[in-house]
Copies of this chain bind each other. A is one copy, B any other.
Amino acid sequence: MKKNVLIIGAGGVARVVAHKCAQNNDVLGDIHIASRTKSKCEAIVASVHEMGNMKAEGLLESHALDAMDVAATVALIKHTDTQIVINVGTAFLNMSVMSACIETGTAYIDTAIHEEQDKICETPPWYANYEWPRKAECEKAGVTAILGAGFDPGVVNAFARLAKDDYVDDITDIDIVDINAGSHGKYFATNFDPEINFREFTGTVYSWQDSQWKENEMFEVGKEYDLPVVGKQMAYMSGHDEVHSLAKNMGSPNVRFWMGFGEHYINVFTVLKNIGLLSEQPVKLANGDEVVPLKVVKACLPDPSSLAPNYTGKTCIGDFVKGTKNGNPAEVFIYNVADHKEAYEEVGSQGISYTAGVPPVAAAILVASGEWDVKTMANVEELPPKPFLHILGQIGLPTCIRDENGERQLDFSK
């Protein structure tokens, strides 16, 4: 049994994590939230209290922390008696936070792959660049490090594993589809940090096809999907973290990720990219100053957390898994539908932050209970999926299935 959670980060996802931890503080113990800007943490703490989301009496504290500073993070972990770190700060922090966890024997959970500021879309499989080489370190220290435990990556990895366990033998295709059919009412906005959002789409699109890595350009391969609730939607093959671990762990010759985009998003993205404004490399201004264009675009766009109050509509994210079952062709779609407005009413965030922020709390609950406290590094598909999906159903993200028997919500409690 582990307890006391330190949340690193204070953006839209961290806010959801904080609210959900508070709603489960009878299991999780003390909740700490740390970010470079302490006032952002304080605003989250205030909102948890305002919305009455503390389940039990307990500690919910803000801290100022530069999580690139391993020694400072170690000190805060010790000072707060933290046993589980949920890292939902920027993707640039992962390695330093992981170092602090290994040094202190603390469980580590993140939701996105590590990135270096000046590199985009490195050699596949991405996890082999930073995370997997540290598995031995985690094992040696007996540290549980759960990688990519958001929705995608995260829940979709569990969906794939569930499909393999219960619905499809000899998997041939895993196609993960992420559709946000919501509307924020702004000219243009990204649903999470624009810097991370755009970085996802400016590099090569890696997919795993015919058991090898294939390269495409963004928006080169598109496909219309007809999905539950959100209906017909165009999605484009995109690079995404989970492709890189599922390709290794699932034995499927094909693993692809498809992200839904409207024509307007594609047009804006194309203009910004072609002009060079999405570049992570600095340009020199007329006065000699050097500036990274992407950081300026970020500063011009709406803060993703500001979208929440007016966001309407739903998301549908799930896995099409294809293969055979008992020798016959089999296909299943395992998915979740989330609602932007309901998310806002519950925790003050939009649906994208909600779907990303609830799963690491479910993972933390399983680490706390011991079920996922595996004392090594693991991607989500390497862990038993049912306890995870069961908790997710209880805390806001039910799992649904569509197959030859129709659409229905799965009940993991049976």
Residues of B within 8 A of A300 (CB): 275-277, 279, 283, 293
Interface string of A166-200 (1 = CB under 8 A from B): 00000000000000000000011000000000000
The answer to whether A414 has its CB under 8 Å from any CB of chain B is no
B299 touches A283 (CB 8 A): yes
Q: Pick the residue among B271, B277, B299 that contacts A267 (CB under 8 A).
A: B271
Are A275's CB and B301's CB within 8 A? yes
> Are B299 and A284 neighbours in the complex by a CB distance under 8 Å?
yes
Q: For the complex, what is the distance from the CA of A275 to the CA of B271, rounded to whole Å?
A: 11
Q: Is the CB of A295 within 8 A of B285?
A: yes
> Are A299's CB and B291's CB within 8 A?
yes
**What is the total number of copies of this protein in its complex?**
2
Closest to A268 in B: B271
Tell me the count of chain A residues lying within 8 A, CB to CB, of chain B: 26
A272 within 8 A of partner (CB): yes
**A298, B277: Cβ atoms closer than 8 Å:** no
- The reply on A296 being an interface residue by CB < 8 A is yes
Q: Write the nearest CB–CB distance from A265 to chain B, whole angstroms.
A: 11
Interface residues of A in 229-272 (CB under 8 A from B): 267-268, 271-272
Residue contact A277 to B274, C-beta cutoff 8 Å: no
Which B residues touch A301, using CB under 8 A? 275
Q: Judge if A297 is at the interface, Cβ distance under 8 Å.
A: yes
| A283 proximity list for chain B (CB < 8 A) | 296, 299-300
Please name all residues of chain B whose beta carbon is closer than 8 Å to the beta carbon of A295 when the two chains form the complex.
285-287
Give Cα distance in the complex from A214 to B296, angstroms. Answer: 34
Q: Are A188 and B296 in contact (CB under 8 A)?
A: no
Cβ of A224 to closest chain B Cβ, rounded Å = 24
Is the beta-carbon distance between B296 and A285 smaller than 8 angstroms? yes
Collect the chain B residues with CB atoms within 8 Å of residue A287's CB.
295
Report B-chain residues with C-beta under 8 Å of the C-beta of A274.
Answer: 187-188
Name A299's contact: one of B271, B285, B297 (CB within 8 Å).
B285
Q: Which residue of B lies closest to A284 (CB)?
A: B299
> Which of A187, A283, A291 is packed against the most chain B CB atoms within 10 Å?
A291
Complexed CA–CA distance, A276 and B279 (Å): 17
Which of B267, B268, B286 touches A298 (beta carbons < 8 Å)? B286
- B-facing mask of A296-337, CB < 8 A → 1, else 0? 111111000000000000000000000000000000000000
Nearest B residue (CB) for A278: B300
| Complex contact B277–A296 (CB within 8 A) | yes
Question: Are A296 and B298 in contact (CB-based, < 8 A)?
Answer: no
Chain B residue with minimal CB distance to A37? B286
| Residue interface mask A379-409, B partner, CB < 8 A = 1 | 0000000000000000000000000000000
Least distance between A367 CB and chain B CB atoms (Å): 31
- B275 x A297 contact (CB < 8 A): yes
A296 proximity list for chain B (CB < 8 A): 277, 283, 285, 291, 293, 296
Question: Are B291 and A277 touching (Cβ within 8 A)?
Answer: no
Within 8 A of B (CB), among A63-101: none
Q: List 13 A-B contacts (CB under 8 A).
A: A188-B271, A267-B267, A268-B271, A271-B271, A275-B300, A275-B301, A279-B300, A283-B299, A284-B299, A285-B291, A287-B295, A291-B299, A293-B300
Binding site for B on A (CB under 8 A): 187-188, 267-268, 271-272, 274-277, 279, 283-287, 289, 291, 293, 295-301
Q: Which 3 A-B pairs have the closest CB atoms?
A: A276-B300, A283-B299, A271-B271
